[in-house]
Structure 1
Amino acid sequence: MYLIGFVGLLGIILFTGCAEDQPDEQALTVAAASDLYHVFSELGEAFTEETGIQVRFTFGATGQLTQQIRHGAPFDLFAAADETYIDQLLEAGFIETGSKEVYALGQIGLIFAEDQFPEMSVERLVSPHIERIAIANPEHAPYGRKAKEILQELGVWDYVQEKIVYADSVRQALQVVETGNAEVGLVAAAIAQHSPLSFELIETDEPLVQALGIVKASKRKEEARLFSDFILSPKGQEMLINYGFKSPRPQH
């Protein structure tokens, strides 16, 4: 069992969608799960084009971002990879009542180098040719927890447990495989399509229910509501689907 932390204790990645002449304090600040890195970067640009409202993102593991909100981090909106974290913050009074929205259903799969492994499946992970398997830390990353659940449900966890490389977030789990520090990873479909590696979706009856909420302490609740509505709009949902998510609501 291995533990990798790429960017310090919290493994937070910052992305700023603000114009150079736009002060950060005027931007809408969004905490977002790591699987949203690519799609939310694009969503933020589209939202700014339509509304003129700049968006500043902090990407990281859902559990770690949850703790930051509990400790007063100045976020306006929180998009989690698992709705239970939004529910916990709602109950504790950190999320605005009535602002919770399920915005996507997350999918997970296997990422690997096709030149090493022409075919890949969960069952093949027990092979002695696979020495390291990267997943996000199940303690604070929903995709890590989901990966562990899948390995347990398919009966291979006991055989591969000592091969597991734990990363701070699902995006870092992908980086572990891309840098050759693991042969295979279990990662979000939403970040796999930007990788040169091969990806095999794992079919599951229970995708990750991803939800967002407006942070109660926010001073930009109106702007946060507008961005929430944009994510839930047909245009926002289409972008999420294009990045490998399923929509939680019928699309027309």
Structure 2
Amino acid sequence: MKKCFPLFLLFIMILTACRAEESNTEALHVAAASDLYDAFSEMGDAFEEDYGIEVVFSFGSTGQLTQQIEQGAAVYDVFAAAHVSYIDRLVEKGAVKKDTKQVLGTGKIGIVYEDSTYPELHRDVLTSDEIQSIAIANPDHAPYGQAAKQTLETWGIWDEIAEKLVYGENIRQALQYAESKNVDAAIVAAALSKQSSLLFTPISTSDHEPIVHALAVPEKSGHKENAQKFVDYVLSKQGQQILESYGFDSPAEGIKR
């Protein structure tokens, strides 16, 4: 019996490891734009409660996540981009399934700042000496950074305040710069401002191109059926209510762009 015990213990260890690996494999891996952090975190909990499927999120800039999927550097089951053009780019590359592409909503931006320092902040204040630094997401790979740049160009102050700009790798980092007081103000997603103590002044959607979000299922997903369930959940009444509570404008159900 003593001789058999080590073998029995080894069997239990292997079985446990296999079950852990199986559990991890069954989890749904979702890559999403940083502005979706709060909304998708809430939605992931609700989805898991309804379906019993664990959702593991990877949040980052849309451009960088797109590049990862293009190059096969990471395998995700769902990709939610901050702009539909990135999904279209992946469709053309054959990296995501075209028939799973769906518009999930439209984002908004605004200026965040400390109310004790600036009781009211508008575009004229951005050019004043009161504001020494302004954070935005990097417009080279972040749709919200592109929207911020377009807004500042529309206002005719992009060149004037260029030296004040501090680029975050994504929109969450731009917000963190303002929250940590490393910058005087930041132009961020309305969706992220909901959980911030900073004041938020909305920017008119007419000052920049629409920030149309979309999602799709990557071709390399090993859980396409469950991935589609998550896509459908995002577009469901409950999913859209969550997105709307974070300031997203909801598209009609089933719209494909």
TM over 0.5: yes
Partner residue, 2:9: none
CA contact (8 A) 1:123 1:156 kept: no
After TM superposition, the structure 1 = structure 2 runs for residues 87-102 of structure 1, keeping only pairs within 5 Å, are 87-102=88-103
Equivalent-residue separation in structure 1 for 2:22 and 2:93 (angstroms):
33
Q: Which has the higher helix share?
A: 2
1:243 is aligned to 2:252: no
Shift of 1:108: 0.3
Partner residue, 1:230: 233
1:217 is aligned to 2:220: yes
Shift of 1:204: 1.4
Equivalent-residue separation in structure 2 for 1:231 and 1:35 (angstroms):
15
Please list the CA deviations of residues 7-26 of structure 1 after superposition, one character each: whole Å capped at 9, or x if unmatched.
Answer: xxxxxxxxxxxxx9983221
Partner residue, 2:200: 199
After TM superposition, the structure 1 = structure 2 runs for residues 85-234 of structure 1, keeping only pairs within 5 Å, are 85-205=86-206, 206-234=209-237
Equivalent-residue separation in structure 2 for 1:24 and 1:249 (angstroms):
34
Amino acid at match of 2:173: Q
Amino acid at match of 1:231: V
Please list the CA deviations of residues 128-152 of structure 1 after superposition, one character each: whole Å capped at 9, or x if unmatched.
Answer: 1100000000011100011000000
Q: CA RMSD in A?
A: 1.4
Partner residue, 2:45: 45
Shift of 1:158: 1.3
Q: Secondary structure at the match of 2:47?
A: helix
Equivalent-residue separation in structure 2 for 1:28 and 1:187 (angstroms):
28
Percent identity between the aligned chains? 48
After TM superposition, the structure 1 = structure 2 runs for residues 31-42 of structure 1, keeping only pairs within 5 Å, are 31-42=31-42
Equivalent-residue separation in structure 2 for 1:247 and 1:101 (angstroms):
12
What are the ranges of 5 or more consecutive residues in structure 1 without an aligned counterpart? 1-19
Q: Secondary structure at the match of 2:150?
A: helix
Please list the CA deviations of residues 152-210 of structure 1 after superposition, one character each: whole Å capped at 9, or x if unmatched.
Answer: 01111111100000010000000000111111100000001111110011111343000
After TM superposition, the structure 1 = structure 2 runs for residues 17-36 of structure 1, keeping only pairs within 5 Å, are 23-36=23-36
Please list the CA deviations of residues 36-61 of structure 1 after superposition, one character each: whole Å capped at 9, or x if unmatched.
Answer: 00110000010011111110000000
Runs of 4+ in 1 over 2 A off after TM superposition: 20-24
What are the ranges of 5 or more consecutive residues in structure 2 without an aligned counterpart? 1-19
Give the greater-gyration-radius structure (CA): 2
Q: Secondary structure at the match of 2:75?
A: coil
Equivalent-residue separation in structure 2 for 1:183 and 1:21 (angstroms):
46
Between 139-148 and 197-206, report the one with greater CA deviation: 197-206
Equivalent-residue separation in structure 2 for 1:24 and 1:133 (angstroms):
41
CA contact (8 A) 1:32 1:60 kept: yes
Equivalent-residue separation in structure 2 for 1:104 and 1:163 (angstroms):
31
